[in-house]
Structure 1
Amino acid sequence: MRTLYFDCFSGISGDMVIAALIDAGADPLQMEEELKKLNIDEEYTLSWGKVVKNGITSTKFDVILTSKSEQPHEHSHSHGHKHSHNGDHSNSHENEHNHSHALHNHHGNRTYKQIVEAINEANLNESVTNMSLAIFKKIGEAEGHIHGLPLDKVHFHEVGAVDSIIDIIGAAILIEQLGIESVQSSAIPTGSGHIHIDHGIYPVPAPATLEILKGVPIASNAIRSELATPTGTAIAAVLAEKFGSLPAMTVESIGYGAGTKTFENHPNVLRIIIGEIQ
């Protein structure tokens, strides 16, 4: 059985997942074409390339927002591994006239309901659709629980942001493309310390991340930084059938996906290992 293993020794975020999948041999150009079915490609450009993190050559993936995207990034905690570029996203404005699609972005908010409608309308592969919907539901339920709202009333800042939509649906596209039949993961280190978000100073892991981690083994880690984001955590929580050490497998490909942060004593990368389990 063709199995993907998330080796999260430095945490996990959505962009690190996509970067690691590309590094392991997935085709980002095919992903880019599939993502156009969402009709929001005027709001972003994608970039990927090789970087070296503490001696490990890895792939870095970025979603670069265009002037047609209005994303205030109010919940900065969801971007712990993202965006070393373009710090002025909050100053950009959407072109209101070109956008009648389900993902029309009104004042920087996108609702859970809008995202579900857009995924269902996009005519993506069935398994991609199902994976994407399950991951968004996991995050939506966590956010709703934290904020005391039913799922259909959840408005997303961080998950509705273009880059999180790309990260989740893009990851599903690449996993399907690689013919993955099962997913396993290591325990997930969350990091420690505090982060500043629009609601104030929050502990790490952030409340939404911790809610998503219910039932998932957490690994201890002394790094005072946010290592696991809601998007990355939800991808692992939804897709992994089991959590533990690397299973016995015949390894076929390995991918390293770089995070934005650089740590002094260890490489900030997500490693994925793809192989056959007999």
Structure 2
Amino acid sequence: MKILYFDCFSGVSGDMTISSLVDAGGDPIHLESELKKLGMEDEYQLKWNKIVKNGITSTKFDVVLLNDEEHHHHHDHAHNEEHHDHHDHAHNNEHHHHHDHAHNHGHHHDHSHRSYKDIVKLIKEAAFSEPVEETALKIFKKIGEAEGRIHGMPLEDVHFHEVGAVDSIIDIVGTAVLLHQMEIDSVIAAPVPVGSGKIRIDHGVYPVPAPATLEILRGVPIAASELKAELTTPTGAAIIAVLAEDFGNVPTMKVNAVGYGAGTKTFPDHPNVLRTIIGERY
């Protein structure tokens, strides 16, 4: 039985997950070709780098949006500057107009935001294998339901701002693609550190974890962290919440592969990476 352990000692985001899976042996060529089924290639470009984080060589993944004047690097982040629009966020229509101006610089195109329903349709029409489609839809639903509860609206009215939507679609569908390509049978995760302090998101200054992240992590063990930063994002939280069957220390297993996926932020005494351990259960 092939088991995957997410050792999320520095939290988790969507881009860290994909980076870590590729670093552990996932196939980025297969990933890119599967993502083409979404028909969104005119909207983004994928970038891969090997970087060193506090002494650990790891893979770094970025989604660069092509319809921004300033090419926008991956937004799911936990891990960019403290002051950020929290983009895995759904927005109801009253609240997101200023984001389109901020990020599209007056460009008008059809995808200024995507509703939860649009994203479901996009994934269903992409003709992925059934397990990939099912995994991706479950993770998106987890985020959509949390956003709906936070904003007090039904799931079908939830909208994702463009930047968050493109990043989240790539991260979530990409994670589903890689897990099934790697033939993972079972996922276990460490308790999830969320960080501490405050962040600026769309609606003001909020405590860490942001409301959507905390909502998504209901039922999931979270871990204390002294770091004054957002360590886990809604997309990362949803991936772990949906995929992990159990939480705790590394299980008894024969280790076959280890991957390190880098976050954007760097901390002085703490490698900001997600470690993925893959092996056979004993």
1:153 is matched with: 157
Runs of 4+ deviating beyond 3 Å: 68-73, 91-96
**Secondary structure in 2 aligned to 1:174?**
helix
Match of 1:33 in 2: 33
- 1:271 alignment partner, one of 261, 270, 275: 275
SS at match of 1:250: strand
Separation in 2 of the partners of 1:12 and 1:5?
13
Q: Hey, what's the Cα distance between the residues in 2 that align with 1:70 and 1:161?
A: 18
Identity %: 61
- Shift in CA distance, 158/143, structure 1 to aligned 2, threshold 3 Å: farther
Matches within 5 A, 1:117-156: 117-156=121-160
- Matched-pair contact (CA < 8 Å) for 2:114–2:162: no
Displacement, 1:69? 9.2
Alignment match of 2:207 (pick from 183, 203, 208): 203
Distance 2:143 2:70 in 1: 21
TM-score (norm 1): 0.89
| Distance in 2 (alpha carbons) for counterparts of 1:12 and 1:247 | 19
Correspondences of 1:98-247 after superposition (within 5 Å): 104-105=110-111, 108-157=112-161, 160-247=164-251
Pair 1:18-2:18 in alignment:
yes
* Equivalent residue, structure 2, for 1:51: 51
Does structure 2 retain, via aligned residues, the 8 Å contact 1:13–1:231? yes
* CA drift at 1:92: 5.0
2:67 paired with 1:67? yes
Secondary structure at 1:51 match in 2 = strand
Question: Are 2:94 and 1:81 equivalent residues in the alignment?
Answer: no
Cα-Cα RMSD: 2.4
Contact (CA 8 Å) 1:110, 1:157: kept in 2 or not? yes
Deviation at 1:130, TM superposition (A): 0.4
Alignment partner of 1:79: what SS? coil
Corresponding letter in the other structure for 1:167: D
Q: Tell me the CA shift for residue 81 of structure 1.
A: 2.3
**Separation in 2, partners of 1:125, 1:238:** 18
Alignment-derived partner of residue 42 in structure 1:
42
Give the CA deviation at 1:91.
Answer: 3.6
Could you tell me which amino acid in structure 2 is paired with residue 124 of structure 1? Answer: F
**2:107 and 2:189 mapped to 1: Cα distance?**
38
Long gaps (5+) in structure 1: 97-103
Deviations 1:196-250 (A, max 9, x none): 0120000000000000010000111100000000000100000000011100000
Q: Please tell me whether the aligned partners of residues 62 and 82 of structure 1 are also in contact (alpha carbons under 8 angstroms).
A: no
Letter in 2 for 1:222: E
Shift in Å at residue 261 of structure 1? 0.3
Alpha carbons 1:193, 1:224 under 8 Å: kept: yes
Local SS of the residue matching 1:270? strand
Give distance in 1, aligned partners of 2:71 and 2:162: 9
Tell me the SS of whatever aligns to 1:3: strand
Q: Return the TM-score normalized by structure 2.
A: 0.88
Assess if the C-alpha contact under 8 Å between 1:19 and 1:257 holds in 2.
Answer: yes
